[in-house]
Amino acid sequence: MRYTIFSPIIYASICILSLTGCSKLLEIGPPINSITTEELFVTNKQAEWAIAGIYSKMINGTEYSASAVTQIGNNNFAAGLSTILGSLSADDLFMAGGQVIGTDFFASQNNLSLTNSSKADNLWKSAYRTIYDANAVIEGIGASTSSSLSDSVRKQLTAEALVLRAFSYFYLVNFYGDVPLALSAAFQQTASLPRSPVAKVYDQIKSDLVKAKAALTADFAIGNNERVRVNKWFAEALLARVYLYTGDYQAAISSASAVIGHTALFGVETDISKVFLPNSKEAIFQLKPTTEEARILNQTPESRQLYNVPAANGSYFPTYGITPQLANAFEANDQRKNIWMLAVPSGFIPVKYRNGAPGQYYTVMRMAELHLIRAEATMLLTPAAKSTAIEDLNILRRRAGVDELNDQLSAGQVIEAIAHERRTELFTEWGHRWFDLKRTGKAEEILSAIPYKQPWQGNYQLLYPIPAGEIINNNNLVQNPEYNSR
């Protein structure tokens, strides 16, 4: 059955990771039409299962096999798809394997259409799947009258669901623009929703995060001291990003500074090779892949996509490669290029996560971004405070082994330096480059000059097409401009 964003089917039978961190999977009965208080929100343990199921499906999908982990990266916004499509649409990745069909190829050329965007459709569907699961948890806990479901667990799990909903909407609004704002798991309430304006969606994201951070814990105890469950600081960090994107620069500075100042838990790793390790001090939130399937080796789906298994003769056949534009953007001796990229016959491939390396967790947000957020917000709010912004950049530059910037730079040069550092620090991570080019108005100028993206199809390509099937199922949905005529 095709899963549309407004499907009433929400599975209570979800294969989930146990909350103690072991790899044993728990099963919760057969599929039913909806999550109800009778089935799932009676005890603390059952409610914990429900929220754990959301995390697990975001990174693991619903089945485990050697082939399934690659498929997850093709169909799940939280398991590599945002990175891969965003990096292709921007100028981080190109199709190294010579593929000239499929969504990947057309995204890399900024030439998506209603007939070649199946992977982009998966991004939409998987984000809404997470939203509906989060809504089901919020409503199920709210409706439960069970005395065995404690107030502290109610507050904690509701807050986690609010953050996961906000997180999903952030990616939807940045890939698609106006999107339906579904705040209920009830099919009758959501089946015919129109698209809500970007500003309204952002208002809801902020509201969810502000409400959640007041109820969330300030440590990682709930995840057995692993950084695999959202806490107060991830909500604060995501707020910092959202405030930057929406132009509330003082709030962005305040939220970023709050996380940066919590040095007992967080800090920029001085050793660049440790940045993406499980429970790195730089990690604010990570998703934990399954250990149930030995052939997956607990690696991220993204690592399977971007770092292909070598052939018997030791050669590599990568599907995706680092673009020459990105490879040439690094300064001499920048350790980010030396350690986070690998030279192959076709050029370079990203190796922030290495295929075959066991024990990998997927870093969703990290401290380096908070320093970049604070630097940019500082310059956009108070250019005279450039020395403060420069120091945020120099923290990352010292770690990368490149020369520090000095206070003699003009305000305009500092803004350019921030864009450069965002590019060299956050490449092939969660679509950052794609979103940065769009929100700073640089997309057409930079992307239209890349030979394989010419002729430039038009700025309508800066938003992905709404899946055609969703519009068929909901007459109140309107397609993004120009896609219907192509």
pLDDT tens for 268-300 read 999 999 999 999 999 999 999 876 655 555 567
What pLDDT does residue 11 have? 38
Cα 430 to Cα 29, 167, 174: the distances in Å are 34, 12, 11
Residues 6+ apart with CB under 8 A from 151: none
Mean pLDDT of the chain: 87
pLDDT in tens, 51-66: 999 999 998 876 555 5
Q: In the structure, what pLDDT confidence band is assigned to residue 22 with cuts at 50, 70 and 90?
A: very low
pLDDT, position 486: 75
- 3-state SS record for 418-470: HHHHHHHHHCCCCCHHHHHHHHCCCHHHHHCCCHHHCCCCCHHHHCCCCCHHH
Report CA-CA distances (Å) from 416 to 27, 326, 331. 51, 15, 14
pLDDT at 61: 79
**Are 482 and 458 a contacting pair, CB within 8 Å?**
yes
- Asked if 101 and 459 touch (Cβ cutoff 8 Å), the reply is no
Coil, strand or helix: which one is 94?
Answer: strand
Q: Is 384 exposed, middle or buried (0-12, 13-18, 19+ CB in 10 A)?
A: exposed
d(CA 113, CA 123): 15
Mean pLDDT of 13-33: 32
- What is the average per-residue pLDDT within 207-236? 96
Letter string b/e over residues 263-290, b meaning 16 or more CB atoms within 10 A of that residue's CB: eebbebbeebeebbbbebbbbbbbbbbb
Cβ atoms of 168 and 129 within 8 Å: the answer is: no
Q: How confident is the model at residue 447 (pLDDT cuts 50, 70, 90)?
A: very high
Per-residue pLDDT tens for 226-241?
999 999 999 999 999 9
Task: Answer whether residue 15 shows pLDDT above 50.
Answer: no
Are the beta carbons of 89 and 434 closer than 8 angstroms? yes
Question: According to the model, what pLDDT value does residue 332 have?
Answer: 95
Q: What is the rounded distance in angstroms from the CA atom of residue 422 to the CA atom of residue 12?
A: 40
Whole-number Å distance between alpha carbons of 345 and 207: 49
Helices (H), 298-349: 301-306, 324-327, 335-340
Cβ distance 88 to 167 under 8 Å?
Answer: no
Distance (Å, whole) CA 472 – CA 59: 29
Note the pLDDT tens digit of each residue in 304-341.
Answer: 777 654 444 455 567 899 999 999 999 999 999 999 99
Tell me the per-residue pLDDT of 80-139, one tens digit each, with 9 for 90 and over.
Answer: 999 999 999 999 999 987 777 789 999 999 999 999 999 999 999 999 999 999 999 999
Q: Are the beta carbons of 311 and 376 closer than 8 angstroms?
A: no
For the segment 340-392, what is each residue's pLDDT rounded down to a tens digit? 999 988 899 999 987 666 678 999 999 999 999 999 999 999 999 999 999 99
Helix (H, G, I), strand (E, B) or coil at 339: helix
Which CATH entry fits the domain spanning 16-282+363-451: 3.40.190.10, 1.25.40.390, 1.10.10.10, 2.60.40.420? 1.25.40.390
